[in-house]
Amino acid sequence: MPRSPNQLYDTAEQKADLEARNGLLQFDEVRKMIAASRSEFELTPEILLRLQYLAIRDLYTCAGKFRTGAVYLNRSFNDPGLHQPGPWEQVPSHVGEMCNYVNANFTIGYILFLAETVEPLGLFLISCCARG
């Protein structure tokens, strides 16, 4: 597979090591956020950008940034068709709307929804490593 111009790692082993390290850094950051949040926690685009930065730092040049180009995703293993998300110019406003929705609906029972939807969606929306 050809190397992306945004890619910073050289081997699959190096990528796996960086991903493991970054996962621990992200975990520590979330623990700090929880400890600092003595009252109501408010999810913001800045928090998602920070978590996205920690997730892909030293892997891609676009860590911590909204995407600046089109991306295409395989629909599934069974459907090789491509899905193209909305225009990159709309990403900041969509992420802001998502944060507002989460903040307005956040309850303890809502944590499962957040775990299954917001993190993957948020990281997907703000990933800037566009592939054409």
Question: What's the pLDDT at 36?
Answer: 81
E strands of the chain, at which residues? Answer: 73-74, 82-83
Q: Which residues contact residue 73 at a Cβ distance below 8 angstroms, ignoring those fewer than 6 apart?
A: 82, 83, 84, 85
Q: What is the mean pLDDT of residues 102-115?
A: 67
pLDDT in tens, 1-17: 567 888 999 999 999 99
CA angle 9, 12, 17 (to 5 degrees): 75
pLDDT in tens, 14-72: 999 999 999 999 989 988 888 887 667 788 999 999 999 999 999 999 999 999 998 88
pTM: 0.73
Residue 109 has pLDDT above 80, yes or no: no
Question: What's the pLDDT at 37?
Answer: 76
Q: Which amino acid is at 65?
A: K
Q: What is the mean pLDDT of residues 107-118?
A: 58
Residue 117 has pLDDT above 80, yes or no: no
* Weakest-pLDDT range from 33-47, 94-108, 115-129: 115-129
Distances in Å between the Cα of 32 and the Cα atoms of 7, 28, 39, 72 are 29, 6, 14, 34
Question: What's the pLDDT at 132?
Answer: 36
Phi then psi dihedrals of residue 82, to 5 deg: -100, 145
Residue 115 has pLDDT above 90, yes or no: no
- 12-126: CATH, from 1.10.3290.10, 1.20.1250.20, 1.20.120.80, 3.30.1050.10: 1.10.3290.10
